[in-house]
Amino acid sequence: MKSRFLASLLSLFAVVSMSPILVSGQTQSVTSGAAAVDRTPWGAPDLQGVWDFRSLTPMERPIDLETKGVYTAEEAAAFEAQRLAEIAALDDEEPADIVGNYNQFWFDRGTTVVDTNRTSLIVDPPNGRIPSLTSAAADRRATTAKAREGTNRHEPTPGGFVEDLGPGGLQVRCILGFNSGPPMAPSAYNNNLQLFQTEETVVLFAEMNHEARIVPLDGGDHVDSRIRQWTGNARGHWDGDTLVVETRNFLRETNFNGASTTEHLNLIERFTRIDEDTLQYEVTVNDPTVWTQPWTFSVPMKKNPYPVYEYACHEGNYGLYNILAGARTEADAADQRPR
């Protein structure tokens, strides 16, 4: 049974992966508003390709900007110059003795703010800030912070490993990429999404951790809520020329916003082809057990002419062995310290 299911899944992905080649040169250009939108042979907007979502624009509007939602051109240029200088200075500030530490050459945070010069990726609430935590979420966060005193973000909470991986545990253990969420959000590097289409299916393939989300467009219901996955269960449909993907039934937290979401997350992602080089990605995040209201952010993804290369998170799976060996060495050293 498992073999047949795996074979079917691999066959579907192979067909979808080939679809850009099969329809290449067969798209039709149809005018939609002010822009011409390429369409597939079956009439849907053609969203296929590799899309780059890096950006210097922060998720939240800086507090000192208060109600300023958009930079002037001069202010945007000044912000970009300041941010790039801060990034360049990180090599001088970070300790040189961190084993395996990257210098800034390896990062790819982007060099500009979003095209609209917004001061935050968040577009709702209007203040550009993440809404307040619920009282229960605030209590959980305080309890976790106290339990994690003295640990870094890549370490599990003392006494945990299987259930409590720590806020950076999903990426360290290669379960989910740190910018692939879901939802996806600009981060340090590998900010690329490859999108495949057939008439009945869309595949969202994130470069980070080579995560492929297969989204049916057949109008079917979400799977039984008792069946939960790390990336949830997604269903898609077209709203005019916008692809809408709703995801629910998450196993637990995803690798988004410091792993702050829960299994109660309901995610609405919208993909709209603005022009030849831009795919607008808008996300509404709704987890009533974490935030007092839903909130929305928006990122313009830019066409990337290059292919997505393999992301080998733990090559040969040596990384997990080394993590455990290092944790054991630290624990042994702590046991020998004077108390």
DSSP one-letter string for 158-191: TT-SSS---TTHHHHTTSS-TTTBSSP---SS--
Give the span between the Cα atoms of 250 and 252, in whole angstroms: 6
Radius of gyration over alpha carbons of the chain, in Å? 21
Q: Residue 91 has what pLDDT?
A: 80
Give the span between the Cα atoms of 316 and 71, in whole angstroms: 46
pTM of the model: 0.84
Q: Residue 315 has what pLDDT?
A: 65
Q: Residue 35 has what pLDDT?
A: 59
CA 168 to chain centre: 14
Give the span between the Cα atoms of 229 and 223, in whole angstroms: 11
DSSP one-letter string for 188-241: SS--EEEEEE-SSEEEEEETGGGEEEEEE-S-PPPPPTTS-BTT-EEEEEEETT
Q: Residue 118 has what pLDDT?
A: 98
Give the span between the Cα atoms of 98 and 82, in whole angstroms: 26
Tens-digit pLDDT string for the chain (339 aa): 434 334 444 444 444 443 443 333 344 444 444 457 899 999 999 999 999 999 999 999 999 998 999 999 999 999 999 999 998 888 876 554 445 567 888 889 999 999 999 999 999 999 999 999 999 999 999 998 998 888 877 777 887 766 777 778 888 788 899 899 999 999 999 999 999 999 999 999 999 988 899 999 998 999 888 999 999 999 999 999 999 999 999 999 999 998 999 999 999 999 999 999 999 999 999 999 999 999 999 999 999 999 998 888 876 667 677 777 877 887 788 777 665
